[in-house]
Amino acid sequence: MQKLIIDGGLPLNGETVIQTAKNAALPIIAACILTDEPVTIENCPHLNDIDAMLNIMRHLGCTAEFFGDNLTVCCRDVALNVINSDLTGKLRSSIFILGSILSRCRRAYISHPGGCEIGLRPIDLHISGLKGLSVKIVDDCGVICCDGTDMKSGVINLDFASVGATENLMMAGALLDGETVIVNAAREPEIVDLAEFINAMGGDVRGAGGSVISIRGVKKLHGSAYTPMPDRICAGTVLAAVNATGGSVTVKNVVPDHIFGITERLKKAGARLSVRGNAVRITADARPRPIHKLETNVYPAFPTDMQPQFCAMLARASGSSVIVENLFENRFGYTSELVKMGASITVKDRIAVVNGVSSLHGATLKACDLRGGAALVIAALAAEGRSVVYGVEHIDRGYECIERTFAELGGAIHRAEV
């Protein structure tokens, strides 16, 4: 067990290079099952969630090995082992693997991934989508048993533009005869990245990034080398931190279009931003300004995965902000930790009212989920005095060595054993 020790109050300055995206790399790893040839995922981030996904892949008989930052996955010998709850419990997005196993093997057995700290996270859209491709699915004491022997391509209309369900169905359709069409597909950049990866393996996916995606099944996919997209949430996390602490930082390896919803809100919160190619520079020299109403929604709206980090930033804004969380029913859990630092936040259901205070003070804090943990780090960097953040394993699920990123920018932050 580890903790982060943060002496706050220092501005952040310099430049940082953003890691590749966890939420792109995870479905890409799952999609490796679609081919029996080796795949190299270049510059794959080293994260707890990636390790959890690789453990599932190994359990299924695949090999997965890092050579430096490049991950090589080979799924020549896929075994139809039941993916037990000890594996799915570590990674809610383990359900993304169903589509690729079914496409390749026409059967799959996986324990229900269950809910997590941020919400119940049902999988009904994944299940109904796969049933729409004629997969027979029964729940046998918590194990989802899928029989895809009669699987057929078809048109799937998603009731909600779920990221994971869209990705699952794209993978499911990749090796099916005929055309699978997903209507009301999610439009997140990670969907486009997955489509590009499947196409790099010889697939035929069109329309990703729009709300109708067409997947024409091919007989076989081949190995490939692929670099996932930059992590837009890690970029946003650094930008929000700079607006909270003050300073001037250039964030490199970003796709500015991907973070438009974030940078526009940072401007509202008083930051100055400029874009040059794949780099964004932020300068903040005053207390953040409040944001009248900050509402999360599906891409291209403001992402739910940035809501906690913005809340931490707005905790010391020069006025009151209202945050509305539309995606996950329980994503304000971290706010009670911010209150320990002197923040004034009241939460009712999916709405948080944040009355900015002039300064936060250090405290002993516990991260209970990934983005909530990042919010605590931001608040601690901006606070006066020392904070200790426990539950670092949650932060390590999505940020590659978060303390190194902020220490290189001048933050007084280090990791220690508990």
Residues that bind ligand EPU (CB under 6 A): 23, 26, 93, 119, 121-126, 160, 162-165, 186, 190, 303-305, 327-328, 370-371, 398
Which residues 6+ apart lie within 8 Å of 65 measured at CB?
71, 72
Helix locations, 106-250, DSSP H = 124-131, 163-173, 189-200, 232-245
Which residue, 104 or 331, has its beta carbon nearer to ligand EPU? 331
Q: How far is the CB of 248 from ligand EPU (least distance, A)?
A: 27
DSSP assignment of 52-86, as one string?
A: HHHHHHHHTT-EEEEETTEEEEE-SS-----B-HH
Cβ count near 90 (within 10 Å)? 17
227-260: b (≥16 Cβ within 10 Å) or e: bbbbbbbbbbbbbbbbbbbbbbbbbbbbbbebbe
Which residue, 42 or 124, has its beta carbon nearer to ligand EPU? 124
* Residue nearest ligand EPU, CB atom distance: 164
Which residue, 93 or 103, has its beta carbon nearer to ligand EPU? 93
Q: How far is the CB of 104 from ligand EPU (least distance, A)?
A: 21
Residues facing 230 on adjacent strands: 20
CA atoms of 352 and 335, how far apart (whole Å): 9
Which residue, 213 or 317, has its beta carbon nearer to ligand EPU? 213
Nearest alpha carbon to residue 383 among 293, 296, 315, 326: 315
Q: How far is the CB of 331 from ligand EPU (least distance, A)?
A: 9
Map tokens 């999360």 to a residue. Answer: 296
Map tokens 């930051």 to a residue. Answer: 271
Contact 49/22 with Cβ under 8 angstroms?
Answer: yes
Q: How far is the CB of 283 from ligand EPU (least distance, A)?
A: 27
Contact 375/313 with Cβ under 8 angstroms?
Answer: no
Map tokens 């329980």 to a residue. Answer: 330
Which residue, 101 or 327, has its beta carbon nearer to ligand EPU? 327
Which residue, 202 or 333, has its beta carbon nearer to ligand EPU? 333
Which residue, 223 or 303, has its beta carbon nearer to ligand EPU? 303
Catalytic residue among 44, 62, 74, 116: 116
Q: How far is the CB of 376 from ligand EPU (least distance, A)?
A: 14
Q: How far is the CB of 382 from ligand EPU (least distance, A)?
A: 21
DSSP assignment of 338-397, as one string?
A: HHHTT-EEEEETTEEEEE--S--B--EEE--SHHHHHHHHHHHHHSBEEEEEE-HHHHTT
Question: Per the structure block, which two tokens stand in for 14?
Answer: 């310099």
The amino acid at 97:
I
Does 32 qualify as catalytic in the annotation? no
Q: How far is the CB of 381 from ligand EPU (least distance, A)?
A: 20
Tell how far CA 214 is from the center of its chain. 24
Angle between helix 22-31 and 48-59 (nearest 10): 10
Residues acting as catalytic residues? 116
